[in-house]
Structure 1
Amino acid sequence: MTDCYDLIVLGAGSGGLAAAKRAASYGARVAIVEGDRVGGTCVIRGCVPKKLLVYGSAYRHLVHDAPSFGWHLDGVRCEAAQLLVNVRAEVDRLNQLHIGLLEKAGVDLVPGWGSFTGPETVTVSAADGSSRELRAARILIAVGGRPHRPAIPGADLAWVSDDMFLLEQLPEHVVVVGGGFIACEFACILHGLGVAVTQLVRGDHLLRGFDREASRAVQDAMEEQGITLRFAHTPAAITGECAPGELTLTTQSGEQIGCGGVLLATGRKPFLRGLNLEAAGVAVEGDAIAVDADQRTNVPHIYAVGDVTDRVNLTPVAVDEGRAFADTVYGQRPRQVDHDLVASAVFSQPELAGVGLTEEQAIARHGAEAVRVHRARFRPMSQALPGRGPRVLLKLIVEIASGRVLGCHMVGDHAAEIIQMAAIAIGMGATKADFDRTMALHPSVAEEFVTMPN
């Protein structure tokens, strides 16, 4: 027997959940298929648990600075195992919350892994071995991505980012492989929880794609804190007992590094395994599903959103893509997602956030003579008494002819919170003069954005 719907959504992550609930609100009969836990990467093994670990690891710095503010905390110790337990409990709560929200929205949750059997049909294979066939006029693919393991001997002995949230305890020393935001965030988390960290970076700098000066500020702070960064280094093999245990990582130069665990943070790829896209005729370009500006694949009634399209792989983007799809198809409110102005953040310690063009991008697009960079670098008031810690960096990238702010970047505490507000101004076409005539909120770090000299 085949169950018929208006819309089948494959994947109950951020994009799929947003699309399913929005479509149902317009009266569509919707089924959402999920073989794992409801919530997807962000809720279960990404943004949410990671940010909780960031908060937990940051207490190391607070405790260190406490005496300068008159607080003497004798006998303080970190129980990383307790933090991990508490984070998993919060993830469990959110998982149940999202299941309840689907029910409230009138969306049918179909547990199991979905696979196309034709352009309009999907077979769902459940964990108990049973299967169920679904049919719909439209199908949305929102299955997200998965961490990529490099093809080196012993890669299966290492962790990927998903595994970090399942650990019961942490070893004394971890090697982190990668120079992107996931690698840097986990290097800082582990260091904050008392783990010695060596980070191997294939290139010559961290955080490729972010503003180079801002990424250098993060690099300097990480090294100052005691994280060992090794550039132009890649792993060749991993040997030893399955992590966590006694492992040896051998680099491309033959150097051997002993550790208790290896984290491979070397990128993510769309999760296409098992979808049987060929049965539906859905085209794949490279490793991703190709879509147009309306999230439509080459098959007119099949759509895709989020990381499976490998465009801008961020949770808010997937959510907006899912809602834009539902608004357009079911709500008679056609709209397209603007992928050109997306704020982003790295929850390293210190935090990095930015929106708009980096200095390098602005120069490449407009020419060095057409761009002016305004910056401020100083020790924040929060570090005045401790007299230590990284300096804050704030940057405005301005087009000289129009005065328009092309980019805004920050490294320092609460950078993401501040840049979120700056993104509104930049999205509205704000100029440096608009920033200048905005009254400063004193004393704050953010006031430097409106007091930078011309």
Structure 2
Amino acid sequence: MSADFDLLVLGAGSGGLAAAKRAARHGARVGIIEGDRVGGTCVIRGCVPKKLLVYGARARHQLRDAESYGIQLGPVDFDVADLLKSVRAEVDRLNKLHIGFLHKADVELITGWGSFTGSNSIGLSARRGEAIEREITAERILIAVGGRPFRPPIPGIEHTWVSDDMFRLESFPDRVVIVGAGFIACEFACILRGLGVSVTQVVRGPRLLRGFDSELAEAVLDGMKEAGIHVICNATLESVHRDQNQLTATLEDGLQIPCGGVLMATGRRPWLEGLGLEQAGVAISNGRITVDAHQTTSQPHIHAVGDVTDRVNLTPVAIDEGRAYADSVFGDRLRQVNHDLVAAAVFSDPELATVGLSEDRAVERFGRAGIQVHHSRFRSMDRALPGNGHRCLLKLVVEKATDRVLGCHMVGDHASEIIQMAAISLGMGATKADFDRTMALHPSIAEEFVTMG
């Protein structure tokens, strides 16, 4: 008896959608199972709605600076509730759009929660963890269920938010405490502050954005402090107490911070609970599904992509992994994803973007004497008339022996747009001399990358 599908995908997020549509294009019979909304974390409760809120906060900055450009504005009403409503409407539109894309690709969307009942079978439930209502079989299965926010087990944790919750709120309170040092914590701190909320950010370690270049992280911190965000480093949240609509966040040193909300931006973990991986013999290690360079798990016909593998947890990476898997298995075009050169951005204010080795990593690999670092730090022209705002930082890390550019980094407006183009150069092995002989486009921020001494 033949299987129901050639490929069954668990999870209709970025990686699962990409794999399903590409495999169907190659002629496979594909089904995709999703118990939540189609689009996954990025579209429904992550990158997309977050970036829309970034734009909303930026609009307030632009109105504030308008007078510097001769624009006289009267009183301006700003309704955060209306902004959140508009963001949710756009998410609804994208959700329907992705469902339509599946239909056009001839991929069958199966609504429900899937879990393994055998090596080639998935049981479908109406709700996660409930009784299985039907069973579906497939020659191959791709796990693309992503991750979910982690909440540390402290007293009162049930009174806190995670990032998913921020887009469901009708409005934001006047004062919020954010716990965490990563990109989600920093982005929401800047969004909320930009929307007029008083923000205190509690950081367990000595710095923000661990894993990013330390000098760039320091530049982001400077900009956040200048915007009025209170950052407390080397501090740990001990408990959260609710008294009616008021919360009190208590730190380990006894400091009590009254607020209207606490956001726990304390990391994300692969969502393995309830998948029944043991029924299929899929191995996990350190809380993640282990895969090889071809996305293959411990079972040769079962693969996994995206955050559930906990490697480079970024939307474009999950998409490329999904497409590479489909091309390799169903398209007779063996392809692997290069996880070594991945551009990344933090949509904080100021914005950070980076590709390649940070100065810290380059020193570890080549030694301090083996690299040369070029900087440019300045206030961009769009800040000249308002006379306020953060300074830009542009940075190149170069290997002395070969003149090859190892890392290209930036803090400032449009950093992500600029670094995306720089990533092409680094992928082609560009040298500092290649940057030097590129004619500058003046006046622009990006020209500093080709005029550094």
Contact 1:2 1:134 survives alignment (8 Å)? no
- AA aligned to 1:419 is I
Contact 2:12 2:32 survives alignment (8 Å)? yes
Structure 1: distance between partners of 2:356 and 2:126: 44
- The answer to whether residue 120 in structure 2 is matched with residue 120 in structure 1 is yes
Equivalence for 1:327: 327
SS of equivalent residue, structure 1 residue 333: coil
Please list every run of 5 or more consecutive structure 1 residues that lacks an aligned counterpart in the other structure.
Answer: none
1:151-182 residue CA offsets vs partner (Å, 9 max, x unmatched): 10111100000000000011000000001000
Structure 1: distance between partners of 2:72 and 2:51: 27
Give the superposition deviation at 1:77.
Answer: 2.9
Equivalence for 1:167: 169
Give the superposition deviation at 1:125.
Answer: 0.9
Structure 2: distance between partners of 1:234 and 1:33: 39
Equivalence for 1:418: 418
Structure 2: distance between partners of 1:202 and 1:445: 34
Give the superposition deviation at 1:132.
Answer: 2.1
Give the superposition deviation at 1:255.
Answer: 1.4
- AA aligned to 2:408 is C
Give the superposition deviation at 1:126.
Answer: 2.1
Structure 2: distance between partners of 1:273 and 1:124: 15
Contact 2:123 2:132 survives alignment (8 Å)? no
Structure 1: distance between partners of 2:265 and 2:84: 19
- AA aligned to 2:57 is S
Equivalence for 2:216: 214
Give the superposition deviation at 1:73.
Answer: 1.6
Q: Map 1:283-432 to 2 at 5 A.
A: 283-432=283-432
Structure 2: distance between partners of 1:354 and 1:113: 37
1:96-132 residue CA offsets vs partner (Å, 9 max, x unmatched): 0000000000000000000100000001112597722
SS of equivalent residue, structure 1 residue 215: helix
Q: Map 1:245-260 to 2 at 5 A.
A: 245-260=245-260
Structure 2: distance between partners of 1:29 and 1:131: 22
Change (3 A) 1:241 1:133: farther
SS of equivalent residue, structure 1 residue 398: strand
- AA aligned to 2:23 is A
Give the superposition deviation at 1:334.
Answer: 0.2
1:226-281 residue CA offsets vs partner (Å, 9 max, x unmatched): 00000011111111057xx3101111112111100000000000001110100000
Please list every run of 5 or more consecutive structure 2 residues that lacks an aligned counterpart in the other structure.
Answer: none
Give the superposition deviation at 1:63.
Answer: 1.4
Give the superposition deviation at 1:339.
Answer: 0.2
Structure 1: distance between partners of 2:2 and 2:193: 53
Contact 1:10 1:143 survives alignment (8 Å)? yes
Structure 2: distance between partners of 1:130 and 1:43: 28
Structure 2: distance between partners of 1:62 and 1:213: 27
Structure 2: distance between partners of 1:132 and 1:430: 55
- AA aligned to 1:114 is G
- Normalised to the residue count of structure 2, the TM-score between the two structures is 0.98
Structure 2: distance between partners of 1:404 and 1:241: 58
Structure 2: distance between partners of 1:321 and 1:385: 45
SS of equivalent residue, structure 2 residue 4: strand
Give the superposition deviation at 1:61.
Answer: 1.5
Give the superposition deviation at 1:60.
Answer: 2.1
SS of equivalent residue, structure 1 residue 91: helix
Structure 1: distance between partners of 2:95 and 2:394: 37
Structure 1: distance between partners of 2:76 and 2:204: 37
SS of equivalent residue, structure 1 residue 403: coil
Give the superposition deviation at 1:401.
Answer: 1.2
Contact 2:31 2:108 survives alignment (8 Å)? yes
Contact 1:174 1:262 survives alignment (8 Å)? yes
Structure 2: distance between partners of 1:69 and 1:45: 36
- Normalised to the residue count of structure 1, the TM-score between the two structures is 0.98
SS of equivalent residue, structure 2 residue 196: coil
1:17-67 residue CA offsets vs partner (Å, 9 max, x unmatched): 000000000000000000100000000000000000000011221112111
Equivalent of 1:200, from 199, 202, 206?
A: 202
Structure 2: distance between partners of 1:116 and 1:383: 56
SS of equivalent residue, structure 1 residue 363: helix
Give the superposition deviation at 1:78.
Answer: 1.9
Aligned residues: 451
Equivalence for 2:155: 153
